[in-house]
């Protein structure tokens, strides 16, 4: 089992201010493992389900968290240099973002390097708890 995805996700979840993080499977059928991962935030629960491995579940959860996050550099987080997120929605903080705002603000590319997700900027890690600083 490749645990780097799980470690990276746990690290990201911790740094983003979640109160809880869990990876598990939904049933005991060994021929059809369905892994889930979830992170609990104040007022928000992020969950992914039906993944074949814990690593896949953890990676999907990390992508989901990052897709709803704003980097401390002020830009929205992107996890792909190509697929700009077409934002017209609500961040995990409850903040509304239109596609136009997202385009003007720009995006900060985050990549997983082994057991850690890192931004392409030098700002400190994200918070998505909505806490004022
Ligand atoms: Zn950034």
Q: Is 130 contained in some domain?
A: no
Calculate how far, in angstroms, residue 121's C-alpha sits from the geometric centre of ligand 1: 4
Calculate how far, in angstroms, residue 122's C-alpha sits from the geometric centre of ligand 1: 7
Calculate how far, in angstroms, residue 49's C-alpha sits from the geometric centre of ligand 1: 28
Q: Is 132 contained in some domain?
A: no
Rounded to two decimals, what is the model's pTM? Answer: 0.79
DSSP strand E in the chain: where?
20-25, 35-41, 44-51, 76-78, 89-90, 96-97, 107-112, 117-119
Name the pLDDT band for 133 (thresholds 50, 70, 90): very low
Name the range with the highest mean pLDDT among 48-62, 71-85, 106-120. 48-62
Q: Is the pLDDT of residue 24 over 80?
A: yes
- Give me the CATH number covering residue 64: 3.30.160
Q: Is 18 contained in some domain?
A: yes
Calculate how far, in angstroms, residue 82's C-alpha sits from the geometric centre of ligand 1: 17
> Which residue intervals of the chain are DSSP H helices?
4-15, 54-67, 99-105
Q: Is 107 contained in some domain?
A: yes
Number of domains within the chain:
1
Calculate how far, in angstroms, residue 110's C-alpha sits from the geometric centre of ligand 1: 8
* Per-chain mean pLDDT for the chain: 82
Q: In whole angstroms, give the CA distance from residue 37 to residue 39.
A: 7
Query: Among residues of the chain, what percentage have pLDDT more than 70?
Result: 81
């Amino acid at each position: 089992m490749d645990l780097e995805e799980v470690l990276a996700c746990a690290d990201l979840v911790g740094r983003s201010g979640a109160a809880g993080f869990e990876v598990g499977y939904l049933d005991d059928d060994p021929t059809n493992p369905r892994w889930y991962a979830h992170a609990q935030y104040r007022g928000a629960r992020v969950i992914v389900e039906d993944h074949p491995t814990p690593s896949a579940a953890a990676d999907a959860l990390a992508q989901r968290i990052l897709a709803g996050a704003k980097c401390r550099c002020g830009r929205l987080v992107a996890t792909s240099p190509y697929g700009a997120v077409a934002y017209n929605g609500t961040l995990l903080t409850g903040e509304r973002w239109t596609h136009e705002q997202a385009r003007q603000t720009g995006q900060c590319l985050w990549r997983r390097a082994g057991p850690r997700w890192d931004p392409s900027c030098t700002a400190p890690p994200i918070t998505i708890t909505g806490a004022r600083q």
